């Protein structure tokens, strides 16, 4: 699969149609996008009306409704107002699915640390944003794109501007246990360590200790030991001040092999 281009954004207030890359650039991989629920396909937009690859995606994922929107000052009524609305940070109660048929555009999404990731969309790019993710949309300097909008069932156009944390779908997205990460933290005297589950996945650069996103392969055996004193507690770590759940505490004699970084 061709990888889409994405990167962490800077904090500049300049024209939001500019790339806004950091210096040096910090790219975001397709895998990292998938970890926050964003999925991507590269298709042939020239044959979108008869494309079997698109038809298969629609069938497999239940995208029964579609329409086409052209975002151009000469073709979209209330063009300026619509662009301002699209660029307001918001979420939807359903997935957002967009397929770029022509032109270019940006989708910006929040990662688990609330950092903006900019996703560059070009002709042939199909993307799905999960329900509950904060995001926004804008054109590039070309000021033009044409996109197919897809939905499961009847289209739902309602957007909820941030803050919208009261919705169940937002809470589910933010606390999805399938995106949790396990890692261990040694005490100063190296006599024991804590096995910790993050309540939300953080970027690798901010995790303390050694991490393992597949606990079944490195830590789960220790969970089954009779001597394991299982308990939970709220804990704040100095590294980021993020709340974590302490899964357990073990002594030196029970320490499993350290997971590789």
Instruction: For residue 55, give the CATH number of its domain.
Output: 2.60.120.10
Q: pLDDT tens digit string along 117-170? A: 999 999 999 999 999 999 999 999 999 999 999 999 999 889 999 999 999 999
Same-domain status, 149 and 220: no
Q: Which residues are annotated as a binding site for Fe(2+)?
A: 90, 92, 96, 135
Tell me which residue range forms the domain holding 250: 180-254
243 is a domain residue: yes
Least confident interval from 49-58, 107-116, 165-174, 249-258 = 249-258
Of 129, 146, 175, the position where a domain reaches its end is 175
Overall number of domains in the chain: 2
Q: Which residues are annotated as a binding site for Ni(2+)?
A: 90, 92, 96, 135
What percentage of residues in the chain have a pLDDT greater than 70? Answer: 66
Same-domain status, 147 and 25: yes
Of 142, 175, 208, the position where a domain reaches its end is 175
Of 127, 159, 175, the position where a domain reaches its end is 175
* Residue 211 CB partners (closer than 8 Å, separation 6+): 181, 182, 183, 204, 259, 261
Same-domain status, 197 and 167: no
Chain centroid, CA 141 distance in Å:
25
Structure token digits, residue 62: 């239940």
R_g over Cα of the chain: 22
- Closest by Cα among 60, 139, 130 to 102: 139
Residue 234 to residue 232: CA distance in whole angstroms: 7
Q: Which residues are annotated as a binding site?
A: 90, 92, 96, 135
260 is a domain residue: no
């Amino acid at each position: 699969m061709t990888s889409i281009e994405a990167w962490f954004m800077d904090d500049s207030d300049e024209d939001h149609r500019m790339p806004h890359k950091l210096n040096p650039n910090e790219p975001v991989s397709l895998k990292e996008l998938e970890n926050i629920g964003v999925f991507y396909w590269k298709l042939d937009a020239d044959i979108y009306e008869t494309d079997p690859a698109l038809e298969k995606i629609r069938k497999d994922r239940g995208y029964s409704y579609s329409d086409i929107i052209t975002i151009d000052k000469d073709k979209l009524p209330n063009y300026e107002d619509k662009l301002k609305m699209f660029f307001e940070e918001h979420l939807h109660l359903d997935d957002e699915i967009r397929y770029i048929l022509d032109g270019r555009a940006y989708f910006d999404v929040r990662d688990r640390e609330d950092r903006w990731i900019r996703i560059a969309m070009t002709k042939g790019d199909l993307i799905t944003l999960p329900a509950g993710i904060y995001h926004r949309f804008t054109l590039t300097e070309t000021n033009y794109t044409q996109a197919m909008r897809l939905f499961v069932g009847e289209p739902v156009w309602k957007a909820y501007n941030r803050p919208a944390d009261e919705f169940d779908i937002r809470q589910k997205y933010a606390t999805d246990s399938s995106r949790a990460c396990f890692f261990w933290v040694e005490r100063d005297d190296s006599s024991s360590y804590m096995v910790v589950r993050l309540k939300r996945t953080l970027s690798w650069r901010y995790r303390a200790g050694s991490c393992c996103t597949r606990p079944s392969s490195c830590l789960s055996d220790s969970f089954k030991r009779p001597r394991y004193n299982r308990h939970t507690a709220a804990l704040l770590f100095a590294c980021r001040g993020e709340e974590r759940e302490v899964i357990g505490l073990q002594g030196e004699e029970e320490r499993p092999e350290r997971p590789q970084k």
